[in-house]
Amino acid sequence: MAYLIKGAHVYNPDNLGVQDVLVVNDKIAAVGKDLTVVLPELETVEASGKILTPGFIDQHIHVTGGGGEGGPRSRTPEIVLSELISCGTTSLVGVSGTDSVTRSLPNLLAKVQALTDEGVTAWMYTSNYSYPPTTLTGSVKNDLLMVHEVLGVKIALGDHRSSFPTTQNVLDLLTQIRVGGMIAGKIGVLHIHLGNVPGAFEMFEEIVNRGFPIRHIRPTHCARDKYVFGKALEFAKRGGRIDITTGGSCCFESPADAVEAAWDAGIEPSIMTMSSDGHGSVPRFNEKGEMVGLGIGGVACNLRDLKKLIARGHAVEKVLPLLTRNVARGLEMKGKGEVAVGNSADMCLFDENWELQDVYSKGVLMMKDNELLQKGTFEY
């Protein structure tokens, strides 16, 4: 299989201008101007006037469904492949959530493996909201070493549904993650669902002050309320990576506003990311803590907020890394997040109005002219 995509305006995510991109099998083989290629059965794709970007990476999706706070009928459904492709997501990290009973880790592992077989690339975090962590193999270190798909551990802090570990508990867990990652050749991260109960960032500050590397601490939902957002900015100014959730609750009018506020505060753009919280439940509680409503988080919100930031005049090469390079580098996803020779051929093609037209994942054309060519196993 070989494609020569000709004449697209390429953001790799840096602005490369008009370029040709050669794809051979599942890899990008060449990027350059006016490429001349002779290969058997080469297909030429005329992309003049189109914009080519890396495929998007969503590092927080409840692929097996979230929810459960309102009983069995409130469990949200599993994601299907077409939802991902329709919004340009070609790589993802699956997470578990509140329900650690009916949403098991083996089920999560099987789902990310299934999505990878169906055409995207999927990883996962072990555990869920709870402390001590739930694991596949009996220990965090073993999960990181023995399970290729495991990039780190998820926990919830400062949430009424979470455990409330001590600072020493969190430091002990981080140490297991760091050592397990070193042995496995992975970065190893603690992916933290933040609630709005104060205390999580104070923990992180103490842990970093005691000498633990900040790069393993990865808070998400950083714009869920004003207090959390302010503490997240302080954390980022120390070099910590922060993630803005594009679905679910946000203390700004939109998550794009939160991104702009962080940039305005002087946060280094390369340490910021966005993720959808897709297929997580979106519960609504009254002042007594009783749930009064429930919704489902979508996955197209990443693309929505990316387009919103571009429409507001922000440079494309500043916005795109929030869903591409920054995520890949932060999680050490080799071969992902950039249109570069040797990398996975994960690409999106947009028209001049940033309407998504074509999606390639691992070299396979998954969507063409906004029509899905590939769907999940049970979608046909």
pLDDT of the residue at 160: 87
Token reading at 351: 């028209």
Mean pLDDT to the nearest integer, 177-200: 97
pLDDT of the residue at 99: 84
Annotated binding site for Zn(2+): 60, 62, 154, 193, 221, 277
Omega prior to 132 cis, within 30 of 0: yes
Q: What is the DSSP string of 84-134?
A: HHHTTEEEEEE---S--SSS-HHHHHHHHHHHHHHTSEEEEEE--S-SSPP
For residue range 73-118, what is the model confidence (pLDDT) as tens digits?
Answer: 888 889 999 999 999 999 999 999 888 888 899 999 999 999 999 9
The answer to whether 62 and 95 are in contact (CB under 8 A) is yes
Which band of pLDDT confidence, cut at 50, 70 and 90, is reported for residue 303? very high
Q: Tell me the pTM.
A: 0.96
pLDDT of the residue at 17: 98
User: What is d(CA 143, CA 165) in angstroms, rounded to the nearest whole number?
Assistant: 21
Q: Is 217 helix (H, G, I), strand (E, B) or coil?
A: strand
Which band of pLDDT confidence, cut at 50, 70 and 90, is reported for residue 289? confident
Annotated binding site for substrate: 67-69, 98, 129, 161, 224, 281
State the angle between helix axes of 255-264 and 301-311 in degrees (0 to 180), rounded to the nearest 10: 50
Amino acid at 21: V
Catalytic residues: 277
Whose structure tokens read 């693309």? Answer: 303
The answer to whether 84 and 56 are in contact (CB under 8 A) is no
30's CB contacts (< 8 A; 6+ apart) are: 20, 21, 22, 37, 341
Whose structure tokens read 């890396």? Answer: 54
- Minimal CA–CA distance to 176: which of 130, 143, 214, 220? 143
CATH of 56-331, one of 3.50.50.60, 3.20.20.140, 3.40.50.300, 3.40.50.970: 3.20.20.140
pLDDT of the residue at 360: 98
pLDDT of the residue at 236: 98
Which residues, listed in sequence order, are joined to residue 296 by a DSSP beta bridge?
281
Annotated binding site: 60, 62, 67-69, 98, 129, 154, 161, 193, 221, 224, 277, 281
For residue range 231-288, what is the model confidence (pLDDT) as tens digits?
Answer: 999 999 999 999 999 997 899 999 999 999 999 999 999 999 999 999 977 767 788 8
* 2-54+338-372 homologous superfamily: Urease, subunit C, domain 1 (2.30.40.10)
pLDDT of the residue at 69: 73
| More confident of the two residues 101 and 176 | 176
Which band of pLDDT confidence, cut at 50, 70 and 90, is reported for residue 298? confident
Name the residue ranges covered by the structural domains of the chain. Answer: 2-54+338-372, 56-331
For residue range 206-229, what is the model confidence (pLDDT) as tens digits?
Answer: 999 999 999 999 999 999 999 999
The answer to whether 57 and 92 are in contact (CB under 8 A) is yes
pLDDT of the residue at 314: 98
Which band of pLDDT confidence, cut at 50, 70 and 90, is reported for residue 72? confident
* Count of residues making up the chain: 380
Cα–Cα distance list, 31 to 8, 9, 25, 225 (Å) = 11, 12, 15, 43
Residue ranges of the alpha helices (H) in the chain? 81-86, 105-118, 140-146, 167-184, 200-209, 226-237, 255-264, 301-311, 316-319, 325-331
Which residues, listed in sequence order, are joined to residue 242 by a DSSP beta bridge?
272
The answer to whether 142 and 100 are in contact (CB under 8 A) is no
User: Over 80: is that where the pLDDT of 295 sits?
Assistant: no
Omega prior to 13 cis, within 30 of 0: yes
> Would you give the distance in Å from CA 373 to the centre of its chain?
23
- Count each helix (H run) and each strand (E run) in the chain, helices first: 10, 19
Least trusted range by pLDDT, from 83-87, 111-115, 164-168, 293-297: 293-297
State the angle between helix axes of 200-209 and 226-237 in degrees (0 to 180), rounded to the nearest 10: 10
For residue range 306-351, what is the model confidence (pLDDT) as tens digits?
Answer: 999 999 999 999 999 999 999 999 999 999 999 999 999 999 999 9
pLDDT of the residue at 67: 77
User: Over 80: is that where the pLDDT of 29 sits?
Assistant: yes
Could you give the percent of the chain with pLDDT greater than 70? Answer: 100
User: What is d(CA 75, CA 294) in angstroms, rounded to the nearest whole number?
Assistant: 10
- Minimal CA–CA distance to 303: which of 153, 85, 66? 85
User: Over 80: is that where the pLDDT of 37 sits?
Assistant: yes
User: What is d(CA 97, CA 158) in angstroms, rounded to the nearest whole number?
Assistant: 14
Rounded to the nearest integer, the mean pLDDT of the chain is 95
pLDDT of the residue at 343: 98
pLDDT of the residue at 293: 75
User: What is d(CA 376, CA 366) in angstroms, rounded to the nearest whole number?
Assistant: 11
User: What is d(CA 110, CA 213) in angstroms, rounded to the nearest whole number?
Assistant: 32
pLDDT of the residue at 142: 98
